[in-house]
Amino acid sequence: MNRRQWLYSAGILAGVSQAAAAELAGDEPTSPSPSGESRPLLLSEYEPKSMLAVTATHVARSRFPAIDIHTHISFSKRSEKGVELAPERKYLATPEELLPVMDATNLRAMVNLTGGFEVGLADSVAKYDKAFPGRFFTFTEPSYSRFKEANYPQLQAQAIERAHLNGAKGLKLLKTLGLYLREDITSGTLVKIDDRRFDPMWDTCAQLEMPVAIHVSDPIAFFTPTDRFNERYEELSNHPDWSFYDHDFPSNQELLKARNRVIARHPKTQFIVLHVGNFAENLANVAENLEQFPNMTVDIAARIGELGRQPRAARRFFDAYQDRILFGTDATPHGNEFPQQLFGNELYQIYFRFLETGDEYFDYAPAKIPPQGRWKIYGIELPEPILKKVYCQNAARQLHLSVS
């Protein structure tokens, strides 16, 4: 095997043109044979078709009406270096576009976590929640643009009170806190998740019984080099800005520890720790946290790729924490760049298949190439009482809804 062949087989040259690869390897560029057969196959072109003859169950609708606790129907009109700065919203889909998919898949409600604040929030609530009662719920977000003001802790607490009056059901934190927000908002040192300036905000959420949906850190592979050993190599190559390796970023462990200090310090605040407690790769760690913090629940958004590749551990996890796991998908209308979040019937049906069936070895995202890593998943066949809780009852409790 020459150096170029070795680089190919190691995946290092995936996505690199053959000529460029040859140049990298120090070879003379070679022209492919007329049939193209002698050319080494690029990882990015590899689309193996499974030869397994296994059951494929089409689950068109969830067994019980579902609440998707984690969607993004709107985003900030302006953000800089990962920090959302504008209250005004940019809408990704109208309710009229969303409702047919919701009705077809048995989705009772969508929770738009990125509802913004002030005028943006009010507008969002008016357009969705008030226009279609019971079908949409909106969360507010911190106003980081005011972070430099001396009385920010009080201002932010008051903003939560106003958001509550304006109809916000909870508070959402993107991974901005811990990874993007800095002392001078977009420059300076990173602000820690357990920074005391946010204490009044967490406490106000407890007083108003608003759950906090918090995204902290990211898949652990995003904190390791984007190299041939990285299991999410292609994903990080497609989105290089998702890598938190190096620079001045804290480690995954530091982020989770700071988050845990917040959860411990605010026992009356309910924390929905998104993406399976942000550590779906390590369910033992998530279980340990759930044992330690009674005020913590998790959602499964954008992590069935992780849960479904460890189906036995996942099933034990659902059995043990069936009252504290919420159905969520991270669905984003027109989110074609990240198919694992692309709102539509297909996305929901994959989640239903994972939760409800014992099907084996199927795609976790509506995409030609598995976008979060080259593996497939297995269903976990949850029994009806657990399905009912995960699809609806657990979320209804967090949102104070009376549903059957």
**330, 356, 359, 363: which one contacts Zn ion (CB under 5 A)?**
330
The owner of tokens 């550590």 is: 279
The one segment of 38-46, 96-104, 234-242, 322-330 that binds Zn ion by CB under 5 A: 322-330
Residue number with the smallest Cβ distance to Zn ion = 330
- Considering only residues 147 through 206, tell me which ones interact with Zn ion, judged by CB under 5 A: none
Asked if residues 69 and 328 have their Cβ atoms less than 8 Å apart, the reply is yes
What is the smallest separation between the CB atom of 330 and Zn ion, expressed in angstroms? 4
Q: Which is nearer to Zn ion, 218 or 330 (CB)?
A: 330
Tokens of 334: 């027109």
Alpha-carbon distance of 61 to 359, in angstroms, equals: 16
Asked if 68 is part of the footprint of Zn ion (rule: CB under 5 A), the reply reads: no
Stretch that binds Zn ion, among 58-66, 197-205, 236-244, 323-331 (CB under 5 A): 323-331
- Going residue by residue from 273 to 312, which x/- string records binding to Zn ion, judged by CB under 5 A? ----------------------------------------
Stretch that binds Zn ion, among 57-65, 186-194, 253-261, 326-334 (CB under 5 A): 326-334
Cα gap 404→170, rounded to integer Å: 22
Q: Between helices 311-320 and 283-292, what is the axis angle to 10°?
A: 10
3-state SS assignment for residue 223: helix
Shortest distance, CB of residue 276 to Zn ion, whole angstroms?
Answer: 13
Q: Of 60, 136, 130, 123, nearest to 401 (Cα)?
A: 136
108 vs 172, beta carbon nearer Zn ion: 172
Contacts with Zn ion, 103-132, as mask; x by CB under 5 A: ------------------------------
| Residue span binding Zn ion (CB under 5 A) among the ranges 18-26, 50-58, 130-138, 324-332 | 324-332
Closest separation in Å from C-beta 111 to Zn ion = 11
Spatial contact of 220 and 256, defined as CB atoms under 8 Å apart: no
* Shortest reach from residue 194's CB to Zn ion, in Å: 21
Report, in Å, the least distance between residue 70 CB and Zn ion. 6
- Closest to Zn ion by CB, 15 or 335: 335
Cα–Cα nearest to 242, from 155, 156, 234: 234
d(CA 377, CA 363): 6
| Contacts of range 44-47, beta carbons closer than 8 Å, 24 or more positions apart | 44/14, 44/15, 44/234, 44/369, 47/368, 47/369
Taking the complex as a whole, the smallest distance from the CB of residue 113 to Zn ion amounts, in Å, to: 6
Which C-beta is closer to Zn ion: that of 166 or that of 341? 341
- Cα(4)–Cα(16) distance, rounded to whole angstroms? 12
DSSP 8-state class, residue 303: -
Strand partners, 68: 110
Binding site for Zn ion (CB under 5 A): 330
